[in-house]
Amino acid sequence: MVAPASAFDNNEKVKIVRRVLAGLAFTGIRRVRFLPDSYQIVGRAADGLHSDVEIEPLQLAVHFTVEDTVRAAGLLAESGAACIVTLGGDGTNRAVAKACGDVPLIAIATGTNNVFPQMVDGTLAGIAAGLIACGHVPSTLARRTKRLEIWLDGELADIALVDVAISQHPFIGTRAIWDLSTLHELVLARTEPGCIGLSSIGAHLCPLAREDERGLHIHLGDQGQPVSAILAPGMIRTVRVQRWRALRCGDAVEIALRPCTVAVDGERELHLERGGSLEVRLTGRGPRLVDVREVLWHAARAGLLRSPIGAQGEDDR
């Protein structure tokens, strides 16, 4: 509502999922399980799709909240899913990452700020997911990512895949952060140039490749050096950075500001009035993320895409 961002409506998501299913069928996948939604996106996508893929909803009570996504990811992991495909932005993938365990994740970008997911056609994502699930490409192509862990009084309270922002904002409110003047400090797991959101501040200070094991801790203040922030599509602002430092996996940042509001991957989730310990740790315990283009490069070099891969037998996933 405050930036000219593109929107993927439900009809477009139906088309994306239909393309994913076509890609899966091409690789010989025979069974797909999915999280039902109020618009019946997967059901509509499968309608009229001529393939041997068995598509069934997960058996869980759905309340159409983010907790549905967390529980669905956990159920898929427990049932032995070979790959999970998501449609969403950083927030959706963060919810999946809370419970997907070691299951490889293919993240198709349909959010506002898509730092974690990849902008890729659904057909290609489906082919890559099928190749990973059937074991036709090395499992090493699903690489473990970093994450930020929020520890409150010694207990793990939440995680982030991209950024943790500490704000002086007095309440959670509408969650999204648009007023940069309230920001006190940032802890970033990703600082890749070309990304949109709070992580762009870090990218303009110290650009790091996706596979780099480091992160950044940034202090902001009125007297600091000016740095541009591409806060959202079409929204470019300037912030003042007082100081920053690189973090390595295992490093922890103590947050002393009180009261404060903690935002994870762009949305305010936690408000602290006083007392207690608050720590943000950079770790290597993020989900195993698949780079679709890298999988397709490997498959093409191995000659896997010259014709449909076909049926894989009774042990198909």
User: Which DSSP string corresponds to 138-204?
Assistant: -GGGEEE--EEEEEETTEEEEEESSEEEEE--SS-TT-B---GGGEEEEEES---TT--STHHHHHH
**103 and 32 housed in the same domain:** yes
Per-residue pLDDT of the chain (317 residues; tens, 9 = 90+): 556 667 789 999 999 999 999 999 999 999 999 999 999 999 999 998 888 899 999 999 999 999 999 999 999 999 999 999 999 999 999 999 999 999 999 999 998 889 999 999 999 999 999 999 999 999 999 999 999 999 999 999 999 999 999 998 776 655 566 678 889 999 999 999 999 999 999 999 999 999 999 999 999 999 999 999 999 889 999 999 999 999 999 999 999 999 999 999 988 889 998 888 999 999 999 999 999 999 999 999 999 998 877 544 434 44
Q: Is residue 55 part of a domain?
A: yes
Q: Are 87 and 164 part of one and the same domain?
A: no
Both tokens of 217, joined, read 């801790």
CB 302 within 8 A of CB 277: no
DSSP code, position 272: E
Both 256 and 240 in one domain: the answer is: yes
What is the tally of structural domains in the chain?
Answer: 2
10 Å Cβ neighbour count for 1?
Answer: 6
Please give the Cα distance from 264 to 156 (Å, whole number): 14
Question: Does residue 230 sit within a domain?
Answer: yes
Regarding whether 245 and 231 lie in a shared domain, the answer is yes
Q: Are 185 and 281 in contact (CB under 8 A)?
A: no
DSSP state of 109: E
Say yes or no: 88 and 194 in one domain. Answer: no
| 107, part of any domain | yes
DSSP string, 232-250: ETTEEEEEEEEEEEEEETT
pTM above 0.85? yes
Do 205 and 176 reside in the same domain of the chain?
yes
Q: Which domain holds residue 39?
A: 10-145+287-301
CA 199 to CA 207: how far, in whole Å?
Answer: 10
- Those residues with Cβ within 8 angstroms of residue 173's Cβ, 6 or more apart along the chain or in another chain: 268
Say which DSSP state 273 is in. -
Same domain, 25 and 138: yes
297 and 247 within one domain: no
pLDDT score at 313 = 41
CATH number where 269 lies: 2.60.200
Q: Can you give the pLDDT at residue 311?
A: 44
The 8-class DSSP code of residue 262 comes to E
Tell me the two tokens of residue 158: 């939440």
Distance (Å, whole) CA 117 – CA 98: 15
pLDDT at residue 310, rounded to an integer = 57
Does 297 share its domain with 275? no
How far apart, in whole angstroms, are the C-alpha atoms of residue 237 and residue 197? 11
Do 19 and 105 lie in one domain? The reply is: yes
